[in-house]
Structure 1
Amino acid sequence: MNRVVHPIEQESFRRLRARLDTSRFAPLSRAVVERVIHSAADLEYASDLVLDEGELAKAHVALHAGAPVVVDVEMVAAGITRRETVCRLRDARSGPGLTRSAHAIRLAYEEVGPGALWVIGCAPTALEELLTLDASPALVIGLPVGFVGAAESKAALRESGLPAVSNVSEKGGSAVAAAALNALLYTPLSPSEEKK
């Protein structure tokens, strides 16, 4: 089923492309960069995001094949408009040395196992916890926001070698994390991807 794009969204992307040349990005990277910029009206994401087209391509296939999508908070889930997600924050508890967000990631991993797409847009501790698990993710969209731990957790994600979308600065958040996942959801599989 094709997605119907509202005229306001079409005009927004036209204006974005008039202000920023995104043609240097490979197709999936361009989709992610543009959708993240669109979600935040922040052109700086074009130079702040860190992503790899090959990793995105593998995650794209996994996503369209039905791989689970795990989110750290309900705000991220609310932004993902065409896919069911797993969020265990309501079931999580904090304890000594463990935030509620980190516990929620543990609970989600117990539920979905390896191969999921993880979308973290709020809590740096959720991203830090994911890095301690043997999650073998299809992709980690690690875009938590904040002045405490956000940039550091994203740097640790990049250093982990896991397939990822992250950014260098402290900015991020639920809307941009959901936008990055939506970019992959909204991009149909190519004929060569469908054969995989």
Structure 2
Amino acid sequence: MTRTVHPIEQESYAILRRELAASHPDAAALPPLGRAVLERVVHASADLDYAADLVLPDESVLEHTVAALRAGVPVVADVAMVAAGITRRQTLCRITDPGAAEVAAEAGITRSAAALRLAAEEAGPGAVYVIGCAPTALFELVDGAARYRPSLVLGLPVGFVGAVESKQALRESGLPAVSNRSGKGGSAVAAAALNALLYQEVGR
């Protein structure tokens, strides 16, 4: 199955590649999957600075993730906006589940962290986690890494409180991950990073 790319998207990619080449020439040296993730993040945000801000794993990690996605591994999103931005794949997102509020109250954690726990119970080990909004969900995943055992974490929450720290904790955890150093990020960026890998299944 071939993915049809709209002419506007083709033109947008041509522009961003020219601008990346001019402002961040090292981006051209990235291996194919790493470059695909970077380009789709830049495409979603119109922010070329991600070329220096994004932290990518080894290409072999991304290759493994593409294979896992092709095999049907579950995808877990922290919030509905992330889930809505992920195309070609149903996601597990329990942020609106009444049980998330109950777990949050009982455990003294945020609803986002509680929703991640609920989704993980259904997903099981080896899922791909996409965190674009809630640093507390990312801290929950890092602190409970032995329970979650993710194939890949796309940890790109946005904000001024906990975003930078949660992403630093993710990188220091040793979990396979895509993250960024600054407080930038967000639902659209996180979804775009995963979409870049999902699109490898159908070609561009």
TM-score class normalised by the smaller sequence:
over 0.9
Deviations, residues 126-146 of structure 1 (Å, cap 9, x unaligned): 111111222111100000000
- SS in structure 1 at match of 2:129: strand
Q: Provide the rounded CA distance (Å) in 2 between the counterparts of 1:124 and 1:86.
A: 18
1:61 to 67, 70, 77: 67
1:31 to 24, 29, 36: 36
Corresponding letter in the other structure for 2:37: V
Any residues of structure 2 matched to 1:1-12 within 5 Å, and which?
Answer: 1-12=1-12
Relative to its length, the structure with more helix (as a share) is 2
Q: Provide the rounded CA distance (Å) in 1 between the counterparts of 2:139 and 2:46.
A: 28
Q: Tell me the C-alpha RMSD between the 2 structures.
A: 1.3
Q: Provide the rounded CA distance (Å) in 2 between the counterparts of 1:159 and 1:54.
A: 19
Q: Provide the rounded CA distance (Å) in 2 between the counterparts of 1:27 and 1:85.
A: 25
- The alignment status of 1:173 with 2:186, answered yes or no, reads yes
Q: Percent identity?
A: 66
2:113 to 102, 111, 126: 102
Any residues of structure 2 matched to 1:143-158 within 5 Å, and which?
Answer: 143-158=156-171
Q: Provide the rounded CA distance (Å) in 2 between the counterparts of 1:110 and 1:170.
A: 29
Q: Provide the rounded CA distance (Å) in 2 between the counterparts of 1:168 and 1:25.
A: 18
Aligned residues between the structures? 190
Please report the TM-score for the alignment, with normalisation by the length of structure 1.
Answer: 0.94
Any residues of structure 2 matched to 1:69-88 within 5 Å, and which?
Answer: 69-88=75-94
User: Structure 1 residues 136 and 189 mapped into 2: Cα distance closer, same or farther (>3 Å)?
Assistant: farther
Match in the other structure for 2:16 = 16
- Runs of 4 or more, structure 1, over 6 Å off, are none
Is 1:37–1:43's contact at 8 Å kept on the other side of the alignment?
yes
Unaligned stretches of 5+ residues in structure 2: 22-26
Please report the TM-score for the alignment, with normalisation by the length of structure 2.
Answer: 0.90
Is 1:32–1:180's contact at 8 Å kept on the other side of the alignment?
yes
1:130 to 109, 134, 141: 141
- The alignment status of 1:160 with 2:165, answered yes or no, reads no
- SS in structure 1 at match of 2:76: strand
Q: Provide the rounded CA distance (Å) in 1 between the counterparts of 2:8 and 2:115.
A: 36
Is 1:121–1:177's contact at 8 Å kept on the other side of the alignment?
yes
- SS in structure 2 at match of 1:67: coil
